[in-house]
Structures are given as structure tokens and as C-alpha cells.
Amino acid sequence: MPKKKCENAEEVKETKTDNTAEAKNKAEEEKVEETKGKKSKKDDEKVKKLEEELASQKDKYMRLAAEYDNYRKRTANEKLSIYDDATAKAVTELLPVADSVRMALENLANADPEIIKGIELISNQLDKSFEKLKIESFGKIGDEFDPNLHNAISKIESEELGENAIAQVFQTGYKIGDKIIRHAMVQVANC
């Protein structure tokens, strides 16, 4: 019998040794998993940090691109505005000449046909020059009165014209695009 006890004792030792080996293996595996967990937490934090930095850089880039686009559009509009302002200033100096030519045509009904023809040619040249510069005239008889475009000098009652219609034009108005160079001076009917 003592042999059996020894054999049993050896089996118990082997079992204990197996159990401690398994326990050590489990402990090592748990340590590995813990370090993996710590590493994955650290990695997750790093990824989050990098994603936030990327989002921040992307936002900065988008803002810069929008600012540049706004700058480009604003500069283009300013260039057009400068051109229109310069043209308007130059045309302002020529408007008295255009008025004189228009008045000459209106008052030379009984003059020599050659003189009338010459003045008409000058008037046509002025009109073509204004057209090339994109200068538009406004304020014709029968048009509706617009206080943004016209200066009302006087008013009359007329059955021939509608309400707030221009009855007479004393001075033609001119504009370039939406910019008024000179307001038209008019007489308004039925206001």
C-alpha cells in the first residue's frame, strides 16, 4: 500500500504542478491582455487626438479657402467699380456737350440742311461713344416717374398722359450699369 500512497502523492504533486503552471499561464495571459487593453486605450486616445487635430486643420483650410474666394470676388467687383467710376467721371465732363448738341438739333428746325446733317452726325457719334462705354440715357416723355432716377422740376395736369408720367424732359439722365451719372430733370404729369 505504501506504493499507492506514493503514486497518489506523485499524482497530487503533478496535479498541483499542473494547476500552478496553469495559474501562471492564466496570470501571464491576463497581464498580456491588460497591457493590450492599456495599449488599445492609449491608441484610441492617440487616434482621437489625431482626428481632432485633422478636423481642426481641415476647418482652418476651409476657412482660408472661403476667405480667398471672398477676396477674389471682392477684388473683381472693386476693379469693375473703379472702371465704372472713372468712366462716369469722364462722361460727366462730356455731358454738357451732349446737351448742347441735343438742344442745337431741337432749335435748328429752319437752318441749312447741311448744318442739321452735320449736327446729327455729331449726335450719332456721341451716342455710339456712350454705347461703347455702356452709358445709357433715360428720362423720356411718357416714362413713369421714378424718384431714384428723376428730379421733378414741376408738375402739370394732363389728360393725354397717365398718372406719374413724364410730361417734359429738361435734361436727359445718364447711368452706367446701376450707377447714376446724372439724374434726369423732368416735368411730371398727374402726380
Compute the distance between CA of residue 70 and CA of residue 114 in angstroms, rounded to an integer: 57
pLDDT in tens, 100-155: 999 998 888 788 889 999 999 999 999 999 999 999 999 898 889 998 999 999 98
- Tell me the mean pLDDT in the region 158-186: 89
What share of the chain has pLDDT > 70, as a percent?
81
Length in residues, the chain: 191
Cα angle: 149, vertex 150, 153; to 5 degrees: 165
Is the entire prediction scored with pTM above 0.85?
Answer: no
Q: Are strands 179-182 and 173-176 parallel, antiparallel or unpaired?
A: antiparallel
Give exposure, 145-175, as e/b (b: 16+ Cβ within 10 Å). Answer: beeebbeeeeeeeeeebeebbbbebebbbbb
Between these two residues, 32 and 93, which has the higher pLDDT value? 93
For the purposes of burial, counting CB atoms within 10 Å of the CB of 135, is it exposed (0-12), middle (13-18) or buried (19 or more)? buried
Winning range, highest mean pLDDT, from 1-15, 19-33, 54-68: 54-68
Q: How would residue 27 be classed by pLDDT, with cut points 50, 70 and 90? A: low
Domains of the chain, earliest start first: 135-191 (2.30.22.10)
Between these two residues, 121 and 25, which has the higher pLDDT value? 121
Q: How far is CA 191 from the centre of its chain?
A: 40
